[in-house]
């Protein structure tokens, strides 16, 4: 396994390297700047000495006479030693040397072009000569207005590395304290980072992030996390799909990406946090919400979302529970009749018992045959029979219109159970609350390329002012016994209708009359 350097040592190494590199760069810059200043001073000093030598009358007379006694060399060397210059060179008007620290070069022309100085112009600068690189100054020599020669004075420059090493002791006095401070600061920074990252190294954090992303995107449920201010901090692909969230939802407020409704209220903490049933577009979601605790402090919440749109996923809300109730009601009804028949037989009234048997059998057989002949769709017939049994048990007159008819292709069975089952259940509840004349009327017809479903009851109707709210998810005018969820039946009805391109409406006509209109499906010949 590859050994990884701890974060503290990495920070310390980088900090020390940065301090050392910064110190070296600063030292080099300071030495270079000082060197430039020394060059300027040396140039001006060289020019002043050169001008002084050029104005020396004895040197002028010796130069005019050809200097047979070597007076110029002696004077130049004397001046060189007294001023500390590296060289003092005197030439005639042709650039021939009459003095030089290296006597062997006397009588030879200078290496540089002397024309500018011999034209009467002073010059300063840095040049490389026979002795090396030097900061020099050159001045023309005048005699009675005529140029008879020139004087060049220079100070040799030490190499930059030599100058830098010469300054190192001074820089070390400031470098060492800075380095010590950097080491301490690096250690404190590493300690703080380790504390904030729960003692994890960077590669461990990267590994956890990769695992988290893989886990979040791999689970079937949607996951969405928010901080204390309601800002989305995380949303996996499934959550984005279920809630139709924009790509840039992370970092935005929940209220900015979701419409007003129970879903937004749930994510904001306005509903209970355990297995809440919500509608999101055409989907039915079961959501749970949990607080995120770090070191005992709540920093936000995470919600999980499960898509239970399918019939098997939310059977109670889609009408399957009503079919179960129908079977129970039928069993209860027949049990009561059997008990009655058994009692009549024990009392010796066999004629009355046979009459009751024939009456019960005839009624149920008549209703069954009537529905199966007129309805056409066996699912619709079975549903109406089941609801009729429940209505009978509850003492409600269940009426099916004579024109009720639906082909099997008009609506899928699951959608039919959800839509019509919830409407009839609501109608039965409303009719049961009526003190007299309890009835529910159902009509399912196909007319003008539409499937028209009407459910009418003898209840008190829809309360004034809430007709537009009854189709909203979670809204209900009924009590909630035994923590039973209310307010989803009509919301599901509208959802199914809209999913099939239709709509649902309600009016009060002695009771609530719900009307659903759905365009008929067009069958494509196979």
String of b and e for 23-46 (b: at least 16 CB within 10 Å)?
Answer: beeebeeebeeebeeebeebbebb
List b or e across 448-468, with b for residues whose CB sees 16 or more CB atoms inside 10 angstroms.
Answer: eeebbbbbbbbbebbeeeeee
Round the CA-based radius of gyration of the chain to a whole number and report it.
53
Architecture of domain 7-161: 2-Layer Sandwich (3.30)
For residue 173, count other CB atoms closer than 10 A to its CB.
8
Instruction: Give me the CATH code for the 220-307 domain, please.
Output: 3.30.450.20
- pLDDT value at residue 514: 93
Select from 3.40.50.1820, 3.40.50.11270, 3.30.565.10, 3.40.50.2300 the CATH code of 315-519.
Answer: 3.30.565.10
| Terminal Cα distance for the chain, rounded | 64
Strands of the 123-128 sheet, one edge to the other:
87-92, 146-156, 133-143, 123-128
| Structure token pair of residue 439 | 């009835």
Angstrom CA distances, 26 to 30, 33, 165, 166, 181, stand at: 6, 10, 13, 15, 18
pTM for this model (two decimals): 0.43
Tens-level pLDDT at each residue, the chain (526 residues)? 456 667 667 777 787 788 778 777 877 777 777 777 777 888 899 999 999 999 988 888 888 888 888 888 999 999 989 988 889 999 998 889 999 998 888 889 988 888 888 888 999 988 888 788 888 899 999 988 899 999 999 988 765 555 556 666 666 676 677 777 777 877 787 777 777 776 676 666 666 666 666 565 656 788 888 888 889 988 888 888 888 888 888 889 988 888 888 888 888 888 877 778 888 777 788 888 888 887 778 888 888 888 876 434 344 444 445 555 555 555 555 556 566 666 666 767 766 666 656 555 444 555 565 666 666 677 788 788 888 878 887 888 988 888 888 776 667 877 888 888 889 988 999 999 888 889 999 998 888 888 999 999 998 888 876 656 677 765 665 554 444 445 567 888 888 888 888 999 998 888 899 999 999 875 444 4
SS3 at position 287: strand
Instruction: Read off the DSSP letter of residue 2.
Output: -
Please report, for the chain, the start and end positions of each structural domain, with discontinuous segments joined by +. 7-161, 220-307, 315-519
CA atoms within 13 A of residue 444's CA, in its CB half-sphere: 25
Report the DSSP beta bridge partners of residue 116.
none
**CATH topology match: 220-307 vs 315-519:** no
Q: Which structure tokens are listed for 518? A: 């759905």
Return the HEC string of 474-505. Answer: CCCCCCCHHHCCCCCHHHHHHHHHHHCCCEEE
The backbone torsions φ and ψ at residue 297, rounded to the nearest 5 degrees and listed phi first, read -110, 140
β-bridge mates for residue 517, sequence order: 452, 503
Burial of 326 (0-12, 13-18, 19+ CB in 10 A): buried
State the residue for tokens 């799909």: 241
Asked if 65 and 39 touch (Cβ cutoff 8 Å), the reply is no
C-alpha 267/C-alpha 287 separation (Å) is 9
């Amino acid at each position: 396994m590859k050994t990884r350097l701890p974060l503290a040592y990495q920070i310390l190494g980088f900090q020390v390297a940065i301090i050392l590199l910064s110190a070296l760069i600063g030292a080099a810059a300071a030495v270079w700047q000082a060197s430039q200043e020394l060059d300027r001073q040396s140039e001006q000093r060289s020019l002043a000495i050169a001008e002084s030598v050029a104005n020396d009358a004895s040197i002028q007379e010796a130069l005019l006479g050809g200097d047979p006694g070597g007076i110029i060399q002696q004077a130049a060397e004397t001046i060189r030693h007294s001023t500390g210059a590296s060289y003092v060179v005197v030439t005639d008007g042709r650039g021939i040397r009459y003095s030089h620290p290296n006597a062997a070069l006397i009588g030879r022309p200078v290496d540089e072009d002397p024309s500018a100085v011999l034209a009467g112009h002073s010059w300063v600068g840095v040049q490389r000569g026979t002795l090396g690189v030097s900061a020099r100054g050159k001045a023309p020599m005048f005699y009675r207005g005529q140029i008879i020669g020139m004087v060049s004075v220079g100070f040799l420059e030490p190499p930059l590395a030599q100058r830098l090493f010469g300054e190192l002791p001074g820089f070390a006095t400031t470098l060492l304290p800075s380095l010590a401070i950097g080491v301490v600061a690096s250690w404190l920074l590493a300690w703080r980072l380790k504390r904030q990252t729960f003692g994890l190294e960077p590669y461990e954090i990267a590994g956890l992030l990769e695992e988290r992303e893989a886990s979040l995107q791999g689970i079937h449920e949607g996951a969405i996390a928010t901080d204390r201010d309601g800002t989305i901090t995380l949303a996996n692909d499934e959550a984005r799909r279920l809630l139709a969230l924009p790509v840039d939802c992370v970092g935005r407020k929940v209220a900015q990406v979701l419409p007003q409704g129970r879903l937004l209220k749930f994510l904001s903490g306005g509903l209970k946090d355990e297995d809440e049933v919500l509608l999101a577009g055409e989907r039915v979601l079961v959501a749970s919400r949990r607080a995120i605790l770090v070191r005992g402090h709540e920093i936000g919440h995470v919600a999980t979302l499960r898509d239970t749109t399918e019939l098997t996923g939310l059977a109670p809300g889609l009408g399957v529970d009503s079919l179960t109730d129908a079977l129970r009601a039928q069993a209860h009804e027949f049990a009561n009749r059997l008990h009655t028949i058994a009692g009549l037989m024990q009392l010796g009234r066999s004629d009355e018992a046979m009459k009751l048997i024939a009456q019960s059998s005839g009624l149920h057989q008549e209703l069954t045959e009537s529905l199966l002949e007129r309805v056409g769709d066996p699912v619709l017939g079975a549903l109406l029979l089941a609801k009729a049994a429940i209505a009978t048990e509850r003492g409600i007159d269940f009426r099916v219109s004579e024109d009720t008819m639906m082909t099997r292709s008009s609506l899928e069975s699951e959608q039919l159970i959800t839509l019509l089952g919830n409407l009839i259940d609501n109608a039965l509840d409303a009719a049961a609350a009526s003190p007299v004349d309890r009835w529910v009327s159902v009509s399912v017809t196909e007319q003008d390329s539409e499937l028209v479903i009407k459910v009418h009851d003898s209840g008190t109707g829809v309360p004034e002012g809430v007709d537009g709210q009854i189709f909203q998810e979670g809204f209900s005018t009924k009590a909630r016994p035994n923590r039973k969820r209310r307010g989803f039946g009509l919301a599901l009805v509208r959802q199914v209708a809209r999913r099939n391109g239709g709509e649902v409406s309600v009016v009060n006509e002695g009771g609530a009359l719900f009307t659903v209109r759905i365009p008929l499906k067009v069958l494509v010949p196979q």
